[in-house]
Every structure is written in C-alpha cells, then in structure tokens.
Structure 1
Amino acid sequence: MHDPINLFNTIWLDAKCRGTSKHRNAVCVSTIDEDGYPNSRFVDLKEANAAGFVFCSPLDSGKALDICRNPKTGITLWWEHIATQVRIKGLASPISDQEAKAHWVGRLRDAQIATATFQQSRPLASLETLSEQYARAVAASDGKSIPRPDNWGGFRLCAEYIEFLEFKENRLHARTAYSRVGTVWEQHFLQP
C-alpha cells in the first residue's frame, strides 16, 4: 500500500526547511464559482494528514461560498527550490468549531486583527481607508486577545487524487499519481 499523505508531509517538511520564503505554507486553493468558472487564490495550509488538508477562511468569503455550492476543490503547490509540484483534488467540507478555535489561537496577532476587522473581498473606498481602519483596530485591541469572529472557520479537503511532479533538467519529469479507491491508494506513473 502506498501512502501519498506521508510522502506529501515528507516533501512539505523538506520544502519548508530548505526554503527561504516567508510564506512556506502557501498553497493555491481552486474552487468553482456559481457561473462554473475556476477561482484560485493562495491560503495558508494548516495541516495535512489522513483526514485531509486543512485551510482556514471567513465562512462568508468567496471560497467558502464556492465550496458550499460545489465541494469539488483543488490544491496546487509549487516549490521552486526543490523543483516539485503537487496537485490535489477532492471534496472540501467544514472543520469543527473546536478545530477552528485551535487554528485561530495559532494565528499571528496581526492576522487575527486583520481578519476580525475586515470583510474579505468586499468593496473598499480606498487603500487609505484600509490603513486607517486597521490602525484603529490595533489601537482598540490594546494588547488584549482578539476573539475569533463567528464567521471564521475552515475547510478540510479529503483528497481523492494526489499527483507529485519532480522536475528534471532533461525534461524527463517524474510524475507519480495516487488515486483513492475506497480506503486504498492506487499508485500510477505518468508520462511527463
């Protein structure tokens, strides 16, 4: 039996240890909007295990609304410094309130303040308004803990397909795909 989740975590840890990016957990999450178009954006991957791949978001955001309409979701990762791409497809579902609380506590304070202050993807009068609103929120928080907004939670993508692509200089890229069949992962090698 092959375990692509363990393989993913091994590569992810290596990429984080060897990488220099400040955003080492950034993944591209793709959803399908109400008109059938793909929507992609980068988010922070919180965890990856046999249960799935977890990312957090306001529950009234575009990505959350897309997932509620159509749970088919994709995650793509690209690590330039180790020449590796990973593509994941599956169904996303909300995480528990308890899990969301735990992830909220682990967020940086600046991220908590921004999330509690702004309504993601809603129109904004100007960038100056954004800065002013944030400065007021920082001053008002006065070092106190930032409560998790009621509309903040997360999603777990339960993978049905995971593909690893290791780039080679000679273009003979190593592509290994895993498809979930029941509780077992089937491994396939793909041409570059």
Structure 2
Amino acid sequence: MTPAADPFALFSAWLKQAEASEPNDANAMALATADTDGLPNVRMVLLKDHDARGFVFYTNFESQKGTELLANRQAAAVFHWKSLRRQVRIRGAVSVVSDAEADAYFASRARDSRIGAWASQQSRPLEGRFALEAAVAKYAARHAIGEVPRPPYWSGFRIAPSYIEFWTDKPFRLHERLVYRRADAAAPWATEQLYP
C-alpha cells in the first residue's frame, strides 16, 4: 500500500467504498473510552461527520460514554468493513463540537429521535419499559407543536486523531498495515508500514 499524503482523503475513499458494499451502517465504529479507574469501555456508535479536524459522533453527555469522555478527553475507535476486508483504527484527543454543529445535526434527525433524546436517561437504570414510553409521551406532548430543541446535555464529540491505521486483509495473513502518526493536530503526518 503506497501512503497517501492525506489520511483523511484515504479514509473518505474507503468509507465511500464501504457505503457501496456494507449491508448496514458503513459508518458504524467501535468507540473505546476509559472510566475514572482506567477500565476500558467499548461500544458501537455512528460516525456523523469527518474532515481534517477529525471524526464526529453524537451522544447524551450524561451517558456512560459521555461522562467518561468529559472526564478523560481521549478515545480510540475502529471501523471494520467485512465486505471489503478492511479496517481503520484511530486514536486521539477528544473535544466537544460547537453548539452550531450540534444544533444543525440535531435538527437533521427524525422528530421521533429528537423526542427520544429528551426522554431517555441514557445509561441509567430503567425501572421498566413503561417508564420510557411514558417519558416519550410526555416529551412528545411538550413538543407537539414546532421544532424540538436540542437538550442541553446532548451534543457531539470530535476525535482529532494522532494515530490512524489502515489495515487490509491479504492471503496467508500477510496483511498490509499503513500507519499515520503525528504529535498533535498541527503537526505533519509521518507514515510507516507495520508487520502484520
């Protein structure tokens, strides 16, 4: 694999190919965070934007991942596209997106999803399904007319990668691993190939 000058352009090309071949959610990524004891936590989230600044996803800041990221502004993620036999790993510092970005994305979501963001006390104990359904009914009634505003505890995070690895499956487990590293978001990228 010949290194491209810009890993974000390479990622965009790979994602576009995955969108054409993956049966579901080509933008799904496994997101790893750590709690205050340093114990890792991983779950699937959906990438909602990416550019040279980083990789963006949205969540409830009061959720487990939200509280972990607000306490420890670092994360790792992996995209795995089985149909292409490829994966991309990223690691880096995390920041909160601007209110304007969060408002624009929230407004683009389906109305029921916006109501759900108000109704769900994400990651907290649920006494029963009826409690969730009652909360949905309450917020649907509250926002029956007009736009549903973004909750103050709901926004996005951006991972600004200092490490991006492109992995391609090859016969006999002689996989290709191309790594881009940089000291910080302002530094130039250095590339290297890794043994599989």
TM-score (ref. length: structure 1): 0.91
- Work out which of the residue numbers 11, 28, 42 in structure 2 matches 1:8: 11
Q: In the alignment, is the contact (CA less than 8 A) between 2:178 and 2:193 conserved in 1? A: yes
- Work out which of the residue numbers 173, 178, 181 in structure 1 matches 2:180: 178
Report the aligned-residue RMSD: 1.8
- SS of aligned partner of 2:191: strand
- SS of aligned partner of 2:19: helix
Q: In the alignment, is the contact (CA less than 8 A) between 2:94 and 2:157 conserved in 1? A: yes
Distance in structure 1 (CA, Å) of the matches to 2:142 and 2:99: 26
Distance in structure 2 (CA, Å) of the matches to 1:56 and 1:101: 11
1:31 deviates by 0.8
Q: In the alignment, is the contact (CA less than 8 A) between 2:27 and 2:79 conserved in 1? A: no
TM-score (ref. length: structure 2): 0.89
Matched, 1:36 2:38: yes
- SS of aligned partner of 1:82: coil
1:99 deviates by 1.0
Q: Identity over the aligned pairs, expressed in percent?
A: 37
Per-residue CA deviations over 1:146-181 (Å, capped at 9, x if unaligned) read 111111111111100000111124211111111014
- Work out which of the residue numbers 177, 188, 191 in structure 2 matches 1:187: 191
Distance in structure 1 (CA, Å) of the matches to 2:188 and 2:97: 23
Amino acid across the alignment from 1:126: G
Q: Find the counterpart in structure 1 of residue 90 from structure 2.
A: 88
Amino acid across the alignment from 1:186: A
1:51 deviates by 0.7
Distance in structure 1 (CA, Å) of the matches to 2:134 and 2:82: 36
Matched, 1:26 2:19: no
Structure 2 gap segments, 5+ residues each: none
Distance in structure 1 (CA, Å) of the matches to 2:54 and 2:159: 5
Q: In the alignment, is the contact (CA less than 8 A) between 1:2 and 1:187 conserved in 2? A: no
Query: 153-162 vs 137-146, which deviates more?
Result: 137-146
- SS of aligned partner of 2:182: strand
Runs (4+) of structure 1 exceeding 3 A deviation are 135-144
Amino acid across the alignment from 1:58: N
1:108 deviates by 2.3
Q: Find the counterpart in structure 1 of residue 133 from structure 2.
A: 131
Distance in structure 2 (CA, Å) of the matches to 1:140 and 1:4: 45
Structure 1 gap segments, 5+ residues each: none
1:141 deviates by 4.1
Q: Find the counterpart in structure 1 of residue 102 from structure 2.
A: 100
